[in-house]
């Protein structure tokens, strides 16, 4: 059936030219098909007009054929119809080739855009400045870096290496392939930079975790007078989130409000992620609730914001609401929700989530399986964690790290070290996180000798620079074993600046072994680093009390009163029929 606009036009033609009333009897030869195609608004319209053109033998018109292909790319859910049209056209030009290549770049499969580009060459047509951006973008989407470099060579050969849109597509392609150096080279060679090229370079840095570099380009762009658009802001906000630059993120948010683009759905999603990462969950939820329409990304961003801020209960409640709203969840949703269940130790909820994963066919997704291993371990069921690991068809370093960490969490130090040895035997090189899990296993099981060996191996055999988390494990391990002086000397020689976790681990060991003198030295460092945490004052008060130094106990209590420090009440969760009930210290039923 024809749409109203097309039908009205045909009726007018009937009246003017005295056509018969039956549509199939119209002499279509005189109908301006260009107008009909311009009025086309659906696939069914397009097929009707296509039939008219075929009936009148007008398909030989290259202009009409190209418009048909273009609209087929626009209205059809796949490229099959457009491709059939293209294949039936005997005479083609560069514009027609570009139309189909663009269709594949937009709808996929992108591999076909690359095949068409090669066929275009073989057919004797030279690509132009419209062809290359689509082909380069297709190479970026399917990570076809070798083919992308070949296209880059042809760009230079055909003299389009100074075209700003072509250059911008190259910047994006190299960045998405992880080759930021090549992105920088192309970007530096650009005589004219527009908002597209600036945004491409910013996004390239941010996507590769080079947040400070991305912010540097953003600041330079603004300083040179180019105003960011919604896509630019969406590209830079993850850098603000990654660096936890909340004030800069608020400034960008304010700019979006000022220029009227703050309702852009992708921008709101990025802002929710920013506020969540920076701990402002209330603002993230306010933005989420104020959205007129939400995408799956919106739900995922808000659930992740709750999970990142230890609000697992809220994350699971939001997931329940998401299901009521019949929003289809994906693996990203499940990873966040499973992690939220892990933080609560809610085993029944975890099993329910695992069942949803199975129903959705996501059980082999590596991110989900790793989250399930971690969840079962934190919910107290190491056997289920091991079962998930054993069922994995393919394992990665992350999978091995997850199960080693699960064993470490449960104090199964020897099992963790056996798994670590097996992992290396199977050809997997441990990373920084793997060694954190291994050292945690040694720490929880008192394996001092093994801990020293693995810490040394991390540096010597794998060239991994120890981070604060590795050093904190070693200090705690040595401290619990009574090697207090060695632990203190270890801190003094650390390659990174010790934080409260490191000094706190040593202070706890000082209490175990009653070393008041060293405890005082450590406490002085802690009070400088974090003067508002009551835990360290209480710990020192207990150390003084056990040593019978009551005046010092009174001094600690005076400092706590003076600084108005208060203990947070203890909190626990009880899960009944997948409902979590919270209990605080001192609360009554």
Tell me what pLDDT residue 24 has. Answer: 40
Question: Do residues 39 and 5 lie in contact, with contact meaning Cβ atoms separated by under 8 Å?
Answer: yes
Is residue 575 over pLDDT 70?
no
Question: Do residues 107 and 73 lie in contact, with contact meaning Cβ atoms separated by under 8 Å?
Answer: yes
Domain that holds residue 248: 193-293
Residue 7 binned pLDDT confidence (cut-offs 50, 70, 90): low
Tell me what pLDDT residue 21 has. Answer: 32
Check residues 139 and 55 and name the one with the higher pLDDT. Answer: 139
- The overall pTM is greater than 0.85: no
Is residue 189 over pLDDT 60?
yes
User: Whole-angstrom distance between the N-terminal and C-terminal Cα of the chain?
Assistant: 68
pLDDT (tens digit per residue) in 217-239: 999 999 999 999 999 999 999 99
Is residue 18 over pLDDT 80?
no
Is residue 586 over pLDDT 80?
no
Using alpha carbons, list the distances in angstroms from residue 157 to 124, 153, 494.
15, 6, 54
Per DSSP, helices labelled H in 142-209 are: 145-157, 164-176, 180-188, 195-207
CATH number reported for the structural domain that contains residue 243 in this entry: 1.25.40
In a domain, 214, yes or no: yes
- Among 7-16, 35-44, 298-307, 469-478, the minimum mean pLDDT is found in 7-16
Per DSSP, helices labelled H in 331-483 are: 331-344, 347-360, 366-378, 382-390, 397-409, 413-425, 432-445, 448-460, 468-480
Tell me what pLDDT residue 30 has. Answer: 36
Average pLDDT for residues 382-396, to the nearest whole number? 90
Interacting residues of 177 by C-beta distance below 8 A, sequence separation 6+: 140, 143, 145, 148
Tell me what pLDDT residue 40 has. Answer: 81
396 class by beta-carbon count within 10 Å (0-12 exposed, 13-18 middle, 19+ buried): middle
DSSP 568: P
Tell me what pLDDT residue 25 has. Answer: 38
In a domain, 534, yes or no: no
Question: Do residues 196 and 168 lie in contact, with contact meaning Cβ atoms separated by under 8 Å?
Answer: yes
Tell me what pLDDT residue 380 has. Answer: 87
pLDDT (tens digit per residue) in 472-519: 999 999 999 999 999 999 999 998 899 999 999 999 999 999 999 999
Query: How far is C-alpha 364 from the chain's CA centre?
Result: 19
Is residue 45 over pLDDT 50?
yes
Domain count of the fold of the chain? 1
Residue 397 binned pLDDT confidence (cut-offs 50, 70, 90): very high
Is residue 337 over pLDDT 70?
yes
Total length of the chain:
589
In a domain, 22, yes or no: no
CA distance 408 to 397: 16
pLDDT (tens digit per residue) in 248-262: 999 999 999 999 998
Task: List the one residue out of 241, 163, 168 whose CA is nearest residue 198.
Answer: 168
Check residues 545 and 54 and name the one with the higher pLDDT. Answer: 545
Average pLDDT score, the chain: 88
Given the structure tokens 């409260």, which residue do they identify? 500
Residue 322 binned pLDDT confidence (cut-offs 50, 70, 90): very high
Tell me what pLDDT residue 422 has. Answer: 96
pLDDT (tens digit per residue) in 262-291: 889 999 999 999 999 999 999 999 999 999
Q: How big, in percent rounded to 5, are the helix, strand and coil portions of the chain? A: 70, 0, 25
Query: How far is C-alpha 467 from the chain's CA centre?
Result: 23
Interacting residues of 325 by C-beta distance below 8 A, sequence separation 6+: none
In a domain, 28, yes or no: no
Residue 68 binned pLDDT confidence (cut-offs 50, 70, 90): confident
- Give the whole-number percent of the chain exceeding pLDDT 90: 69
Tell me what pLDDT residue 303 has. Answer: 97
Given the structure tokens 């050292």, which residue do they identify? 439
């Amino acid at each position: 059936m024809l749409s109203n606009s097309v039908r009205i036009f045909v009726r007018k033609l009937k009246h003017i030219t005295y056509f018969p009333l039956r549509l199939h009897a119209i002499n279509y030869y005189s109908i301006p098909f260009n107008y009909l195609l311009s009025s086309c608004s659906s696939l069914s319209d397009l097929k009707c007009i296509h039939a008219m053109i075929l009936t009148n033998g007008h398909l030989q018109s290259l202009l009409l054929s190209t418009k048909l292909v273009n609209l087929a790319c626009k209205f059809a859910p796949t490229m099959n119809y457009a491709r059939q049209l293209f294949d039936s056209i005997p005479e083609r030009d560069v514009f027609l080739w570009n139309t189909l290549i663009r269709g594949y770049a937009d709808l996929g499969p992108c591999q076909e855009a690359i095949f068409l580009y090669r066929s275009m060459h073989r057919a004797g047509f030279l690509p132009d400045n419209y062809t290359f951006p689509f082909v380069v973008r297709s190479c970026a989407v399917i990570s076809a870096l070798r083919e992308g470099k070949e296209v880059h060579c042809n760009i230079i050969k055909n003299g389009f290496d100074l075209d700003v849109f072509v250059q911008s597509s190259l910047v994006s392609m190299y960045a998405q392939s992880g080759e930021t150096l090549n992105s920088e080279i192309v970007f530096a060679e650009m005589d004219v930079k527009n908002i597209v090229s600036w945004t491409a370079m910013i996004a390239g840095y941010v996507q590769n975790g080079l947040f400070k570099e991305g912010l540097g380009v953003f600041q330079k762009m603004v300083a040179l007078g180019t105003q960011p658009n919604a896509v630019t802001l969406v590209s830079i906000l993850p850098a603000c989130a990654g660096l936890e630059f909340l004030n800069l993120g608020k400034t960008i948010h304010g700019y979006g409000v000022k220029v009227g683009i703050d309702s852009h759905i992708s921008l709101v999603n990025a802002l929710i992620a920013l506020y969540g990462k920076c701990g402002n969950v209330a603002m993230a939820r306010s933005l989420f609730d104020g959205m007129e329409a939400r995408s799956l990304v919106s739900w995922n961003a808000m659930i992740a914001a709750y999970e990142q801020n230890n609000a697992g209960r809220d994350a699971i409640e939001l997931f329940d609401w998401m299901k009521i709203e019949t929003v289809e969840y994906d693996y990203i949703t499940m990873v966040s929700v499973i992690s939220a269940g892990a933080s609560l130790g809610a085993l029944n909820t975890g099993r329910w989530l695992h069942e949803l994963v199975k129903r959705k066919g996501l059980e082999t997704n590596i991110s989900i399986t790793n989250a399930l291993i971690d969840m079962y371990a934190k919910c107290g069921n190491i056997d289920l964690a091991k079962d998930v690991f054993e069922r994995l068809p393919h394992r990665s370093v992350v999978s091995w790290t997850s199960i080693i960490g699960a064993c470490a969490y449960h104090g199964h130090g020897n099992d963790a070290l056996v798994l670590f040895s097996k992992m290396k035997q199977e050809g997997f090189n441990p990373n920084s996180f793997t060694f954190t899990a291994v050292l945690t296993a040694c720490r929880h099981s008192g394996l001092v000798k093994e801990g020293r060996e693995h810490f040394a191996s991390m540096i010597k055999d794998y060239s991994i620079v120890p981070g604060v988390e590795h050093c904190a494990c070693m200090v705690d391990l040595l401290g619990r074993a009574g090697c207090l002086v060695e632990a203190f000397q270890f801190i003094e020689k650390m390659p990174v600046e010790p934080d409260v976790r490191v000094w706190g681990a040593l202070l706890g060991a000082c209490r175990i072994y009653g070393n008041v003198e060293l405890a005082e030295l450590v406490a002085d460092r802690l009070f400088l680093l974090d003067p508002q945490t009551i835990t360290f004052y209480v710990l020192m008060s207990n150390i003084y009390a056990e040593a019978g130094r009551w005046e010092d106990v009174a001094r600690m209590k005076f400092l706590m009163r003076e600084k108005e420090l208060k203990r947070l009440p203890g909190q626990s969760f009880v899960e009944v029929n997948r409902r979590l009930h919270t209990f605080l210290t001192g609360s009554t039923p």
